[in-house]
Structure 1
Amino acid sequence: MSTQNSSFAGFKVQSIEKTSTRNSGLDALRACITLLVVFHHCAITYGAIGGWYYHEIPPDKSFTSVVLVLFCSVNQAFFMGLFFLLAGHYTARSIDKKGSTRFLADRLLRLGAPLLVYGLLLGPITIALAATRAGQPFFGTLIYLWRKGTFENGPMWFAQALLLFSAATVAGRWILSGYNGSPRLQNLRNLVPSNSMLCIAALLTGAAALALRSVWPVGVNVWGLQLGYFASYIVLYAAGYGTARARWIEHLPERQVRLWWRIALIALPVLPIVYFAGKPFPALRGFPLAVVYAFWEPLVAWGIILILLDGFQRHFHRLDGLWSSLSRRAYTIYIIHPPVLVGVALMWKNIPASPFLKFAVTGSVACFVCYLIAGLLLWVPAFRKVL
């Protein structure tokens, strides 16, 4: 990992404290990935593998199910990791601007409050909605869940994890330098990763993921967190934080982006090939497939993340109209989408249609409804301060 203080890829590196304008490309990307989260959960509704509240069509060996499983597998490789990368990037800037104490207070408000609301209200509501498919009464189920003291973090596990990461970041700063900063800490935030470092990071991430999944297999939750996926989340969050001062993700070298995009394209078919080869060659199933999956994820993720970061920032120099409002509503959409998505799917559960059509229509309608509801919520001053 190299250090660069004066210039990078032809751009003068500015200190975080002097950079306050929003990056339109990153804001647009974050909004689009939020909508992708909605479609990811919609794919699970109609045949993909994954944890979700409502499964209208169970996974099987059909073409539709296989395509949706592949769609979710690729998403899982990069989209939440991209959120953590951006979170790490903005965490460094936020702490520099606000200081550790105010930063943590802000995180508790913007992450902790929505987590509590979702866990105590929206999560149980979503569970009760999904239970109506089996003939269970909505209000009866909801009251039962509340009496039981159910806390359902759902997709707000991301907020829960970010709270832990934020606390760990502040603690790490304090351990390294106290509250006033030091040259050593400044250097840790001027990092610019070379291709060699990205390769090493991918290999170490794969090895760490394999080790974590030997203890907590995919699908196993610990305090509402799937720790088997956290190797890449930690690495990408740390990368976002460590490169924030150099603004690496804002000025990506074109050759680096192209290289890792090619690597992602080469790696992409490897997992499905090994999976389907497991039918004639059973020895490829089990641990060999787990090894391939663990190392496949970062090799695919690095390339997709870099090409998206580069492409969105090249295209979006400012956000107007729909893009501006979508960016502003993205966090709210992320929070409220589970009950909306389940509700939309349930509305036409008895209408026969192809899974692909249901996936496209339900996902699109859910995104539109979430967009409208988010706009209404943001009209309320109390919600606007948090969301």
Structure 2
Amino acid sequence: MQPHLPTAVTIKPAQEFEAQQSVSKQAWVASPQLASAGARNVGLDALRASLTLLVVMHHTAITYGAIGGWFYREVSTDRSLSSTLLVYFCTVNQAFFMGLFFLLAGYLTPGAVERHGTRRYAIDRFKRLGLPLLFFGWLLGPVTIAMAQTARGHAFADTLVKLLRDGTFENGPLWFAQALLIFACVAMLWLKLTPRLQQLWPGQGEIAPWPSNVAMLGAATVTGAVALVLRVFWPVGVNVWGLQLGYFSSYVVLFAFGCFAARHHWLEFLPADKVRTWWRVALLALPTLPIVYFLGRAVPGLREPVLGYVYAFWEPIVAWGVILKLLWEFQRKFTVLDGLWKSLVRRAYTIFIIHPPVLVAVALAWRGVPTNGLVKFAVTGTVTCALCFIFAGWLLRVPALRKIL
């Protein structure tokens, strides 16, 4: 969940909005630092960094019994309480966390194209997304595969040499960088070739009301319907060039919404009533998927295709509520970053890139210790986050890497 993740949002002075507050009396100014022009939205910075750690924990959960693709799986998915809880943890994460990354990335795209120009923006995207993707795909990915294969008795060096000799390219979690490169290219062409869309750029429009609840429900319904269609051709778990296209309907919708929302600064001016409404909807929706799943165990005819239908529409409903709630809470809580948070924000992207081999190494280090999967999940995930934080700090001391990461 991951990519040159957004690090700043350019904001208009608050005075420019005062005359427009009648547009939405329910709007809430995210945090005091928005009063100064060009201020960083540290709430979004902190959210991005927290999501990065959630990505690490997500992959740790797969290691110890959740469903999903990962380099090393120590515990197979079964019907144990530990595995069931980890499956649900990952299922909820999948509904919103990568989509939220795409939303934040889309939110910064129009302004970045305007400030830097198409050519410079394209170069920057290749440097920040393309180079890490190539490095991981050609080197770090094969290294992680070779490490994981040692659990099956294969020699690390022999496996790595074979993978490198065969030209193995493994994008791993850097699929996000790959997808974001594609999205950025489409956005650049769209903005370049469609003059009308230039008015979507920040600073060129007035604040408009957020979409209505009906519109948001319609977007969730369409997103779920498109997901169903995509999964007919590319079921969940099927990769196309390293991308699980079955999940991409929400990614496209949220990235596009982020681009459009930038004009109105919607992520800073969240409507309190919508945050409350959609958070309640998400809380009500959360238990429906496991209910259908367990009913499917008792009544096999209900499991397929009913579970797939419910899952497709459940995801965006949960995502809308969780995303709005997280945007609200993080911007309300964080008005300044210092200490550990400031370091974590700076290191988040590097942590995202390097966490696969670190996680696999930590898991392998104590795989012979018999203990509950939830305990291993908590310990391995915590240690991995800590080690990645340290290693990222070391890497960012290298000037050449600091310019990219």
Q: What's the TM-score bracket when you normalise by the shorter of the two chains?
A: over 0.9
1:36 equivalent in structure 2: 54
Query: Which sections of structure 2, spanning at least 5 residues, go unmatched?
Result: 1-16
Between the aligned partners of 1:227 and 1:182, the Cα distance in structure 2 is 29
Distance 1:67 1:86 in 2: 29
Aligned residues: 378
Structure 1 gaps of 5+ residues are none
The answer to whether structure 1 residue 306 and structure 2 residue 335 are counterparts is no
Distance 2:116 2:20 in 1: 25
TM-score, normalized by length of structure 1?
A: 0.94
Which residue in 1 is equivalent to 2:404?
386
Q: Secondary structure at the match of 2:297?
A: coil
- Trace 1:215-294 onto structure 2 (pairs within 5 A): 215-294=233-312
How many angstroms does 1:95 deviate by?
Answer: 1.3
Corresponding position of 1:111: 129
Q: Scaled by the length of structure 2, what TM-score is found? A: 0.90
**Cα distance 1:189–1:161, how it changes in 2: closer, same or farther (>3 A)?**
farther
Describe how 1:1-387 pairs up with structure 2 within 5 A: 6-7=20-21, 8=24, 9=27, 19-177=37-195, 182-183=198-199, 192-387=210-405
Q: Relative to structure 1, is the Cα distance of residues 221 and 191 closer, same or farther in structure 2, using a 3 angstrom cutoff?
A: farther
Distance of 1:249 and 1:121 partners within structure 2: 37
Q: Post-superposition shift, 1:184?
A: 7.6
Q: Give the RMSD, CA atoms, in angstroms.
A: 2.0
3-state SS of 1:349 partner? coil
Matches of 1:348 and 1:28, distance apart in 2: 32
Q: How far apart are the structure 1 equivalents of 2:355 and 2:268?
A: 29
- Contact 1:46 / 1:56 at 8 angstroms: preserved in 2? yes
One-letter identity of the residue aligned with 1:143: V
Retained in 1: the 8 A contact 2:205–2:264? no
In the aligned structure 2, how far is the partner of 1:340 from the partner of 1:10? 40
Shift of 1:182: 4.7
Task: Decide whether aligned partners of structure 1 residues 213 and 21 sit closer, same or farther in structure 2, where only a CA change above 3 A counts.
Answer: same
Identity value in percent? 58
CA distance in 2, matches of 1:172, 1:362: 43
Shift of 1:142: 0.4
Displacement of 1:174 in angstroms is 1.9
| Residue 196 of structure 1: how far off its partner (Å) | 1.8
Change (3 A) 1:312 1:233: same
| Cα separation, 2, equivalents of 1:251 and 1:48 | 37
Query: 1:188–1:242: 8 Å Cα contact kept in structure 2?
Result: no
Report the Cα offset of residue 354 of structure 1: 1.1
Question: Are the counterparts in 1 of residues 205 and 263 from structure 2 also a CA contact under 8 Å?
Answer: no
Matched letter for residue 172 of structure 1: W
Matched position secondary structure for 1:252: strand
Does the Cα contact within 8 Å between 1:129 and 1:343 map onto a contact in 2? yes
- Relative distance call for 1:183 and 1:38 in structure 2 (3 A) is closer
Counterpart Cα distance in 1 of 2:330 and 2:50: 10
Alpha-carbon displacement from aligned partner over 1:91-142 (angstroms, at most 9, x marks no partner): 1221122122111110010000000000011100000000000000001100
